[in-house]
Amino acid sequence: MILLNNSIHCKEPEIKVHDEVFFKENFQDEEYSSKEKFICRSCNFFITMPSFNYYIDGSWEHFFTNPAHKFFHVRTFKRAPGCLTWGQYTLEYTWFKNIPWIYAFCGNCNAHLGWHYSYMDQEFFGLIADELKYIIEGDEL
């Protein structure tokens, strides 16, 4: 059993940490030494970095409208160590042709940040631009 947002869930779906090494090394890895970061707009938790941008069809920025007519500006990243994912992969309403998705949340406050996509050798995060803040370490938040 797991507890997510005060609800008990059994077995599937499961919460997955996508970069446990990141958390274990406590931000000491050279790969994470860049001062440029994207953090959660809700709680300021580290989510990802510009160096993890993932280009699809020549861009890492994409614009979509969901079936409820809500507009999303989505940025794609190869890695988002600060995200947790939850759910079972589905193709329903996928924005990237034939690539299933599950939900991606902030690993600290559980805010919905976007989606994780995975199919064969292609795996990436599509994160909602408005849910992230770009910072340069040393600047005030």
Q: Is residue 141 part of a domain?
A: no
Q: Is residue 40 part of a domain?
A: no
Q: Is residue 136 part of a domain?
A: no
pTM for the full model?
Answer: 0.76
**Range(s) of the domain holding residue 87:** 2-29+52-130
CA dist 52 and 29 (Å) reads 14
Q: Is residue 113 part of a domain?
A: yes
62, 133 in Cβ contact below 8 A? no
Contacts of 59 (CB under 8 A, 6+ apart): none
If one counts the domains in the chain, the total is: 1
Return the CATH number at 99.
2.170.150.20
128, 74 in Cβ contact below 8 A? yes
57, 126 in Cβ contact below 8 A? no
Q: Is residue 44 part of a domain?
A: no
pLDDT along the chain (141 residues), means of 10: 39 46 47 80 95 90 87 95 93 90 95 94 94 84 51
